[in-house]
Amino acid sequence: MTQLPASLGRTFLLAAGELGFFSAARVFVRETAAAYGADGVRALREQHGREYSVLDAVAARYLDDGALPGVDATRATAALHGASRVLVVGFEADALDLLVPTLSALPVGLLMQRSLGPVDWDRVLANFDDRLTAVPFDDLQKWAGSRAALLTFVYGTAGSLAHVSSEWLRVMGPDVRPQFRTLLGWDLLPVGPEVYPRWLANAEVGTFSALV
């Protein structure tokens, strides 16, 4: 089996902290495939898939289709139509890189809350050329409103449960739900993970006003 760098798992977690699990997984599968081909991607799944379910799912998709899973912001943009502002909970670089430019008229906030370790927020925000506003957790209520939207990323569903980042569970409570008109889940892995989604949390699909 292809020998992968010993530090790969830790490096993946670091990348996932600032890029998001899905975006980091795309980078790692792409680079592993470029260095060692499909054998390398199989080794990546074998050695790190059980630890990182999103990495496993992206690698599986690559091995099945010969291509990385894509990202399309069309449906998310449509679901946010009519919103006066959008607060993003969790982070996915590839998805937000596409979505934020389509919301040019709206204020878009990013909740400064990550459970995966220290994040350089200045660097994260610098990639959006001041279009994203950093929102401390205590300022959550300031973004609420009759036309406000909350957006998070979903990494597949299993029955009535959606796999989400743990930040969503911190935000989503009975007191917060009525304060936002739209609670949007953007599913980046509709097929869902094949292994236990460690590092993720489960939320009832019904808590979302829309899942795209």
Partner 1 sequence: MALRQLIPPAILFITLLAQALVPHLRLLIVMTGAAACCLATSVTGVATTEALLADVPWGVLIILVGLGLLAELLAAGRLFGPLAVRAAVASGGRPQRLRLAFAAGMFVVSGLVNNITALVLVLPVLLVLLRTGDARPRTVHWTIGTLLVACNLGGAATPIGDFPAILLLSRGSMRFTDYLLRALPATVVALALLLGCVGLLVRPERGVDDDPLARRLSLAVTTALHRRVRPAPGPVLPSVLGLGAMLLAWTFLPERLHVGPALVCWLGVCVVLLVRGRQGERLARTRVDVEAVLFLLGLFVMVAAVRRAGVFEALGDWILGLPLPPRGRMVVFLALAGVLTGLFSAGPGMAALLNVGEALTRELPGPSVYVGLALSVCAGSSLFLTAATSGPLAQALVERADLRDADGRPVHFGFLQFLPVGLLSFALIEGVAIAYGLLTTR
Full 3-state SS string of the chain: CCCCCCCHHHHHHHHHHHHCHHHHHHHHHHHHHHHHHHHHHHHHHHHHCCCCHHHHHHHHHHHHHCCCCCCCCHHHHHHCCCCCEEEEECCCHHHHHHHHHHCCCCCEEEECCCCCCCCCHHHHHHCCCCCEEEECHHHHHHHCEEEEEEEEEEEEEECCEEEECHHHHHHCCCCCHHHEEEEEEEECCCCCCCCCCCCCEEEEHHHCCEEC
Cβ contact 197:56 at 8 Å: no
To the nearest whole angstrom, how small is the minimum distance from the Cβ of residue 193 to partner 1?
A: 22
Of 134, 84, 129, 136, nearest in space to 110 by CA: 134
Residue number with CB closer to partner 1 (22 or 180): 22
CB of 9 to partner 1, least distance (A): 9
Comparison of 1 and 34: residue with beta carbon closer to partner 1: 34
CB of 15 to partner 1, least distance (A): 5
CB of 19 to partner 1, least distance (A): 6
Q: Would you tell me which residues interact with partner 1 (CB under 8 A)?
A: 4-8, 10-11, 14-15, 18-19, 23-24, 27-28, 30-32, 34-36, 40, 93, 97, 117-118, 120, 123, 126-129
Cβ-based nearer residue to partner 1, 128 or 169: 128
**With respect to partner 1, which residue has the nearer C-beta, 20 or 185?**
20
Give least dist CB 188 to partner 1, A: 16
Pick 118 or 159: Cβ nearer partner 1: 118
